[in-house]
Amino acid sequence: MSDIQKVIINKEINLKPIWIMRQAGRYLPEFREIRKKNTDFIKLCLNEKLSSEITLQPLKRFELDAAIIFSDILMVPYGLNQEVNFIKNFGPSLGDFNLDNLSLLEEKDFVKKVDPVYKAINLVSNDELTKNKATIGFVGAPWTLLVYMINKQSPKLKLKNDFFNNNQILQKILNILEKFIKIHIKNQIDSGAQIIQIFDSWAGMLSVKNLPNFVYNPTIPLVEFVKSLNVPVICFPRGIKDYKTYCDVVKPDVICIDYEVDPVQVKKKIEIPIQGGMDPRILLTDRENLKKEAKRYLDVFKDHPYIFNLGHGVLPETDPQMMDYLVKTVKDY
């Protein structure tokens, strides 16, 4: 059992394992070398040889406690036959979709389209580098995927004006998403993923009154599904502010927090294991500041089951040596 699983399952407080969101990616020169030759991001995610190699790159450099598969939450819309492109300096751009076609899509066709992701997880979970470490699979939460599918790009600051006009259609899409996210989760677990993280990247955009319909209710069946497969589930409803209510209602095994919440307050209110929190911009400062901030989180959670992580993904301009220093700081604590 990996240290991360011990923290989640056994509620160990003497271990402080570390992995980092986007630990495989643009800040690593070895990743940039591969990316130069592979400009189509989706094709890169669907090349199991390269995506598994990218997944393992940070484990070759740093003493991390988990590998998280190099993939993207938009694999689900892609598997649902919505066109997905990643445009430089813009981000994801999605095409139109037909609701009737979505309703008719068969499981086998979805699985066939995203199958290289599962093959990559299998390669990673059987690699010598992940021995005694956790292999993490992930999905986007229904709300966040709904946002991308309808908005057709990152909402950043606001949604389309008519986003909530037809609630019936939104609920239909959410039901289809639930079905295929479950399929995506099951295949990742069958391929070797030992933990699933659910990213609800745009949860913070919603008003409190909209959270039950769009965040809580669509996520609950996914959490229950992962648990039914005897695999721990981490939820990251970024920007949600009221993490306590989320935990009480959705009941994840672990809650991942962002950098805008006070870790002291979160710890007072939440009993389950906690992950993350530190602002990724701290890695752009200096060693002294980085050590101080990392220790602040470690001190707050010293008597609580805690997995060290950031409150969002590592930034592309991060110096890998700063990442190395962070990992060593956590390990030496």
Q: Is 145 helix (H, G, I), strand (E, B) or coil?
A: helix
Amino acid at 182: K
Active-site annotation holder among 3, 65, 72, 127: 72
Three-point CA angle 213, 235, 297, nearest 5°: 130
Cα–Cα distances in Å, from 13 out to 187, 257, 272, 304, 307?
Answer: 31, 18, 12, 6, 10
Query: Is 26 among the residues known to form the active site?
Result: yes
* 175 backbone dihedrals φ, ψ, rounded to 5°: -65, -40
> How many beta carbons lie within 10 A of that of residue 207, not counting itself?
7
Max CA distance (Å), the chain:
56
Length of the chain: 333
Query: Is 253 among the residues known to form the active site?
Result: no
Q: Which strands form 233-236's sheet, in the order they lie side by side?
A: 66-68, 134-140, 195-199, 233-236, 254-257, 274-276, 306-307
Query: Is 61 among the residues known to form the active site?
Result: no
Active-site annotation holder among 3, 22, 127, 306: 22
Active-site annotation holder among 26, 61, 281, 296: 26
Q: Give the dihedral sign, CA 261/266/268/274.
A: negative
Query: Is 325 among the residues known to form the active site?
Result: no
Distance, CA of 324 to CA of 326 (rounded, Å): 5
Active-site annotation holder among 35, 61, 281, 296: 35
Active-site annotation holder among 78, 118, 148, 306: 148
Active site residues: 22, 26, 35, 72, 148
